Structure formats: structure tokens, C-alpha cells
Structure 1
Amino acid sequence: MEQVLKRHRSIWFFLKATLGGIIKNIYGFECEPADPGKGPYLILANHNTDLDPALIALSFPDHMYFVASEHVFRKGFVSWLLKYFFAPISRTKGTTDATAALSVIRTIRQKSNVCLFAEGNRSFNGVTGPIFPATGKLAKATGASLVTYRFEGGYLTLPRWAHSIRKGRMIGRLVHVYTPEELKAMTPEEVNRHIREDIAEDAFDRQCMQPHPLRYRGKGLAEGLENALYFCPKCGKPGTLHSKDDLFFCDCGMSVRYTETGFFEGEDVPFSTVRDWDTWQNGRLKEYIDSLGDDEIAFSDENVKLIGVELGHKSRPLETGKLFITRTVIGVGSHSFPLEKVVSMGLMGTYKMMFSVEGVSYELRTAKNMYCGRKYLTFFQTLYPDRL
């Protein structure tokens, strides 16, 4: 065990020393040196970019382990490298993973630090999402200090829906350190409240607080927006929105320009931000759901792979066909699953989806062209808001 920990720490500090400056330059990242005190500790942070773990590593003096989505363990040799050098803790998206929680507790009790992203997902709209309800209970169960950490500017640097990174400014800072004694005096709900307050971030409110909004420069700034926004506010239809360069437009003629500051511009702009558009979209989705019959298809996409995820991080292709969702089922081709039996659902990246039915996990992956996986996720969450 000591030799394994020594290996993990050695590669950790080697990569920080050799790649840290490059990563900071790519993301325009600035971090305040974090002083969490004596470990072990549990770090909880908001989540915006694929390299958030590396950015947190650059902020803290000590080695730590990260909780990672289960799908990174199904990438062959790459997964072997990750496990050998970093040993991330696996958590399956689209499930309530008690095994991951136990692994976090065990790792911390072995005097190692652990970091997890409390939302479990990157933000699509620039606002920090809800945290898992059991997070506060987990923080108390570790018996360690709880450290909260917040990224600012990460969403506009690399929006989850986008195809490319933008060069601007991103900051990371430690927000608060809660001692084990302080955690003992709180209920799990109180711990959750502190976590939510500490990691809360609104990319657009942050821009409005600046004397002059920061610019995030890049190419194809609007490309991929249809991965987040799928209802047109002018015609009210889903699936008619497209993007090219910095333009986002609908078949009905509605068109806006996504600017370097992250705001929309143009004639008759319906909303100034992705956040506001998304808020309207949530209401429109509820109306749309209410208008559907139980067996009427709400959304569908062709050429989607249904994959069974087995023990030992093994994948088994089941079928490639049309993905569809109704008020009662989600399915691919001849396979269908009652939504009432879906425990929870999650997204990996922009379109890969995972869900669990009666203890069995499934992945949905495009066979050809990318599709908007978020519309299926928000459809499910609107029907079953208590199933994160």
C-alpha cells in the first residue's frame, strides 16, 4: 500500500511541476494558493471544465484522489494508465452509488485526501447545479475536514455545450474549511446548505459585477449551443435550432449572435443569456410534456447505441437504432424501459447518457452524428424531479 501511495504521489508532483504552467496558460487560469490545514480532508467544488481535477491540483499543496465517472474506466489502455498512476474512485452516473461513498470514506480514513465535484455534472447554463442530497451525510461520515472550493470564469472558458475552448480568465479559490468538530454540530441538511452557498456560481452575474465584462476569445463561439438549448422561443418548437460560427438560429428565422462576453446580441433577441433562455425552456418543456399523450414520442434521434454496463467496467453492445422517449418509456429500437423504473439518469459530456433500471446500468452513445442528450435528461427530470 505504501509503495502504491508513493507512486501516486510521485507522478502527482512530477506532472504538477512539468505540466502545470501549460495547463494554466491554456485555460487562462489563476489560483490562490490553498491552505486547507492538516489533512486528511474532503474537497467539494463546482464543476465547469474537463480538466477541473488538474486545476484543483495546481491550487493545493498536497496529493489527493478524485471521484471520477465510471465511463473513464472503460477506455482500455488509457483506463489502465489512469488507475495505475491516479487510482480515481469510480462513480456510475445515472445511479445512486453507495459503493463510491464507501470508497471515499475508506480512502480518507487511510489518511489520504479526496476531491469530488458536488454537482456530479458540468453546468449547461452557467449556474451551479444542485448537489446530491447525500453529500452532507458523506462529509460528516468521513470524520475529516471539509474544504469547499469555487471556480469562477470556467463556464465561459469552456461551456459544456461548446466544441472549443475560449481564452479569457478563470480563477479558482478556497472558500471555507469546516473542521470535523464543526461538521459534527451540523445536520446533513445544514452541511448541504453551506456547500451550496460556498460553491454557488453564476457566470452571467459574475460578468455583470465586472467594471467591463471579460472577453473569452475563440473560434466558432456559438457552435454546439443546440446541445443546451433545444426549444426556439419564437416558434416554440423543439429540434429546429442550429449553430454556425458565432450565430445561433432557428428554421423559423430567429437568429442571435453569441458574443465574446457570453451574451446574445441581435435584432429581437429573446434572451440575453443562455441562463435566461434555459429558464424559459424549462417552462416550455413542462407545457410540452402536458400536451403529450402517454405513448406519444416527445423526442427521437436515429443511430444511437444502447450499451449494457456490466461489473468490472465491461461494456456489452445491445442494439443500435432509434432513441425515443415518451411520458412513460425510454427506448432504443426494440429495447424499452419504463421511466417509472429508471432510478436516475445522467449525462457524460454533451450527449452520452447513462441510466439505471432495477440495478442494471445502461449507456446511450451516438453511432454517427451527435445529438442533444440534454433534452432527454431534462424531460426525465421534469417528470421525476426527485431522481438526481
Structure 2
Amino acid sequence: MQKRASLTQKKRRTESRNLQPIPFFYGLYRRIMKILFRLLFRIQFHRDPALETIDGPLFVIANHVSYADPIFAMLALPKHRLRFVAGEEITQMRGFRTLARPMRLIKIKPFHINLKTTISVIESVRAGVSVALYPEAQRSVAGDMTPFGLSTAKLIKHLGVSTAAVISHGAYLSWPRWRPIFRPGKVEVETRLLLSAEEAKTLTLDEIQKRLTTSLQIDDYTWQTNNRRPYHYFSFKRARGLQAICHWCPSCDQPFAMKAKKNILYCSFCGQAFEVRPDGFFTATPGSKPCFDHPLEFVRWQRKRTLDALIAGGELKSRVTLNFHSSIRSASSADPERPTRQGSMVLRHGSLTFYEEDDSLPQDELLRDEAPPAYEKKIAFHLGEMPAPYCSFPRFADLRSDQHVWRVFPDEEGFVASLAEMCRAIWMRNNGKEESDYRP
């Protein structure tokens, strides 16, 4: 009997070694990043003592606001070697792929049934390996929480282990999604025991979901307001890239109108302008209206303005290039004959359609949707299957048609933001949610 128990323990230790990150590289990365992040972000931790008493594996959730979030989690939980769930495309990036291999990341792929991912998470936790997952799936666009469904709550209930939350403050301001590179500043990271193992087993899915959303309903602008003195984030071009998410002018009411130059976000039509301060907030330039205090307020207004315009019968257009990305695997989903196409894309309320350039039909006739019903060069895309498309602002968005996933490269810088806003609105409507449900 003792021999059988010994063999079982030995087998579990072997499984754990094969699934968890390689200790040498994990420790090396952690030491290097600890030094760098202290210098760059003056990083500070507020750790929950309750987590120190837990010996078994943790299931870790965190807010997702920057590329550096996994490093913040690694540093915040030094007792645990975390195995992260990450998007497949991130894990395959040139250069990063080699560095990430010792971390034994669990891959997840958008638009596909990720049963293998779920099994990998369950096997890891059962083998005693702590797993970290971001319920929002993608980095926040404007610093607030991206809506998400019940899949994480279901996984927590199935695992039945203690769940920890890692919450970063200042991480969005240090590396917002619209900026290509980070800004040195201040980051504070707190950990908390979100659910004990007993609570994970006994609470209902709705109760678990409530705890998840409550813990992630934060934003850096509120955090800055509550600080005695707002922290500053260093950059010579503080507005660079901001036009990708703040594109609709609040003064002249024109979409795709905002441009950025150094520290100024301005309208190319009417001249309305905001200066982006070192603390991340806006100051209206002389002669401009003080419409918003910060970019998150701008984006929240823009979400509503976009939806109102489309509901009223308006439409947003952009010339685009479509590149075939992958097939939705089924018997009828062969790869398309032409993997690259050019034309126009039209976003209407609840619909998104691509019209390929065709000399045989006038372009204005195509865009009025008066092409023949069987017109082969028209592609309809599905919106609202996820709260946000996989995208890079302002470059591209991945969208699904009936059989394929296409990567869309629009000419208009704000078009990707409009697609994301419509996906969010449709997903929330289909799931009976309101914007107020995702605010503190």
C-alpha cells in the first residue's frame, strides 16, 4: 500500500515538472525583470497575507491592461511558478517564441473551440501547477474592464482550488494599448485571495462571476484621482497613437477626425484640441472646449456616439485590404481562392460588409448594398461573438465570415476602434448587459 502511494506521489511530481515552467529560466527571468521594473516603474507590491498560507496550486486571474501584465503577476506571487494562458499568435512571435518556450505557455486561439486549452489548464492544476489566466482575453482598449462571459467562472468551479487576483494600478498608463512602447512611471500591484477552495466549490456561477467582475472593475484614472499626488509617466510624445482609439471629434461631430502630434490630440476639421498631461489627463488647449478629463471619458462618450449614429441609420466606411488568416475547420471550409483582396468595408448597425473592387459595377451602387444577391465579391462578417475582436490599434482586426477568419487592414485609423465598439455593443446586448454593469 505504501509502495503504491509512493509511486503515485512520484508520478504526480513527474507530471508537475513536465507541466510547470522550467525553474532555472523562470527564476532568471524573474530576477532580471525585478531589477528592470524597479528602475522603470518604481514597482510596489501590496500582498494579501492569506495567500501565504496556501500550499497547493492557485488559479490566478488578473486585469489585462498592458503587455507587461504577466511580469507583474510573476513578481507579485514569488511563492508560485505560474503557467500562463496566452494567445497563440503571441506565443509564435519571432524572437519572443524562443524566450517563452521555457515558460510552457498554454495556447488559446480566437474563433476556435479551445477544448485543448481547457484540458491543459485542468491537468496543470491537478498536477499542482498554478495557472494564470486573463478573463478579459485582450488588453483593455481605454483602461476600463472589457466584458467577459461565464467561461472563467465555470472553470474556477470545476477546478475547485483557491483563486487569487492580481490587480495592477498604473500599468495601463505606463503602457496603454494605443502606444507602441512603454512610458516609465509608477506601478502598484496588489494581490488578494478572491475565492477559497471551499467557496470555489460551493458558490453559484453568478456569485463567482460577481466576484470576478467586481475585482476587475478598476481604471488608472480613478486610481490617479484618489492618489494624494498623481504620478507622472515620462514621454516626449504623450499623445502618440491616441487617435487610434479617440477618433470622433466631440466639437464638430466628425468620425475619424482626430490626429495626434507630440503631446496634442487635435481635430483635423475644426481644430478642437486636447493636451495630454504627464499624469495621463487632458487639458483643453486655448480656444478649445474642455469636453473630457481623460481618454477613458472620451472613449465612453465615443462608444455611445458611434452606436447612436449607427442606430439612426448612419454608416462608417473605410477602404481596406483583406488578408486570409485561417479557416474555420469544417467539411466545407476550404481556403479561399484569392487570399488577398482590396475594396471597401461598411459598418452599419448590427452588420459589417466588405465589397471588393469591381470595375463592372459602380462603387456607390455596391456600397448601397444594391449588388446582385449572389454577388461573389461581397463578404458579410459576424459581429458580437466576442466582446472584442482580436486586433491591433490602428493597424488591423481579425474578423470571421461564414467559413474563414480574415485580417482586415483599414485605411482609416479609427476604423478598428469602431469595429471594437460595435462588437462590444452587440455582445452586451446579446448577453443582457449594460455599460453601467462594468463600472465601479
**Is the structural similarity TM-score above 0.5?**
yes
Tell me the CA shift for residue 337 of structure 1: 2.5
Cα distance, 1:191 vs structure 2: 0.5
Output the CA distance in 2 between the equivalents of 1:125 and 1:380.
Answer: 15
1:181 Cα deviation (Å)? 0.8
The 1:228–1:94 alpha-carbon spacing in structure 2 relative to 1, beyond 3 Å, is farther
Corresponding letter in the other structure for 1:353: A
Distance in 2 between residues matched to 1:10 and 1:19, nearest whole Å: 14
The separation in 1 between residues aligned to 2:289 and 2:342, in whole angstroms, is 39
**Which structure has the larger Rg over C-alpha atoms?**
2
Task: Say which structure is richer in strand.
Answer: 1
Are 1:164 and 2:181 counterparts?
Answer: yes
Structure 2: distance between partners of 1:85 and 1:309: 30
Indicate the residue corresponding to 1:66 in structure 2: 84
Query: In structure 2, how many angstroms separate the alpha carbons of the residues matched to 1:203 and 1:330?
Result: 36
- Displacement of 1:233: 0.6
- C-alpha contact (below 8 Å) 1:320/1:367 kept by paired residues: no
TM-score when normalising by structure 1: 0.87
CA distance in 2, matches of 1:63, 1:261: 34
Asked if 1 retains the 8 angstrom alpha-carbon contact of 2:239 and 2:264, the reply is yes
Q: Distance in 1 between matches of 2:70 and 2:277?
A: 28
- Kept after mapping to 2: 8 A contact 1:263/1:273: yes
Range that drifts further, 345-354 or 368-377: 368-377
Q: Which amino acid aligns with 2:354?
A: G
> Which moved further from structure 2: 64-73 or 318-327?
318-327
Q: Which of 300-309 and 55-64 deviates more?
A: 300-309
1:126-180: per-residue Cα shift (whole Å, max 9, x none)? 2222233222111111121111111011111111112332221101110224222
* CA apart distance, 1:116: 0.8
Residues 101 and 11 of structure 1: is their aligned pair in 2 closer, same or farther, counting only changes over 3 Å?
Answer: same
Out of 180, 183, 186, the position equivalent to 2:197 is 180
CA RMSD after TM alignment: 2.9
The structural deviation recorded for 1:321 is 2.0
Equivalent position to 1:354, from 387, 391, 398: 398
Where does residue 28 of structure 2 map in the other structure?
14
Q: CA deviation at 1:365?
A: 5.2
Q: For residue 28 of structure 1, what is the aligned residue in structure 2?
A: 42
Residue of 346, 354, 373 corresponding to 1:331? 354
Change in Cα spacing, 1:131 to 1:29, as seen in structure 2 (3 Å) is farther
Aligned length: 379
Cα distance in 2 for partners of 1:323, 1:28 equals 47
**CA offset digits 1:205-261 (Å, max 9, x no partner):** 111111222211212101111111121111111111100101001122111101111
The whole-number CA distance in structure 2 between the counterparts of 1:10 and 1:246 is 43
Relative to 1, partners in 2 of residues 1:95 and 1:324: Cα closer, same or farther, differing over 3 Å?
farther
Q: Give, in angstroms, the shift of residue 324 of structure 1.
A: 1.4
Inter-CA distance 161–20: structure 2 relative to 1 (3 Å threshold): same
1:111-122 to 2 correspondences below 5 Å: 111-122=128-139
CA contact (8 A) 2:106 2:121 kept: yes
1:1-388 equivalences under 5 Å are 1=15, 4-5=18-19, 8-33=22-47, 36=51, 37-60=54-77, 61-75=79-93, 78-79=96-97, 81-82=99-100, 84-94=101-111, 97-251=114-268, 252-266=270-284, 267-292=288-313, 298-308=316-326, 318-322=339-343, 324-327=345-348, 328-331=351-354, 333=356, 334=377, 336-339=379-382, 343-344=385-386, 345-351=388-394, 352-357=396-401, 362-364=405-407, 366=409, 372-385=415-428
Q: Equivalents in 2 of 1:38, 1:232: separation in Å?
A: 53
- Is 2:21–2:82's contact at 8 Å kept on the other side of the alignment? no
Where 2:340 maps in the other structure, the secondary structure is strand
Any conservation in 1 of the 2:389–2:423 contact (CA below 8 Å)? no
List per-residue Cα deviations over 1:311-354 (Å, max 9, x = no partner): 7xxx99821424513333343734612436x7335234424423
| Cα distance in structure 1, aligned partners of 2:411 and 2:308 | 31
Supply the distance in 2 between the matched residues of 1:56 and 1:142 (Cα, whole angstroms). Answer: 20
Gap regions ≥5 residues in structure 1: none
Contact residue 323 and residue 331 of structure 1 kept, 8 A: yes
1:171-208 Cα offsets, whole Å, 9 max, x none, are 11102242221112211111111111123212111111
Query: Which ranges in structure 2 are unaligned for 5 or more consecutive residues?
Result: 1-14, 330-334, 357-376, 432-440
Given that residues 158 and 164 in structure 1 are in contact (C-alpha distance below 8 angstroms), is that contact kept between their aligned partners in structure 2?
yes
Alpha-carbon distance between aligned partners in 2 of 1:119 and 1:156, rounded to the nearest angstrom: 18
- Matched residue type, 1:68: A
CA contact (8 A) 1:226 1:372 kept: no
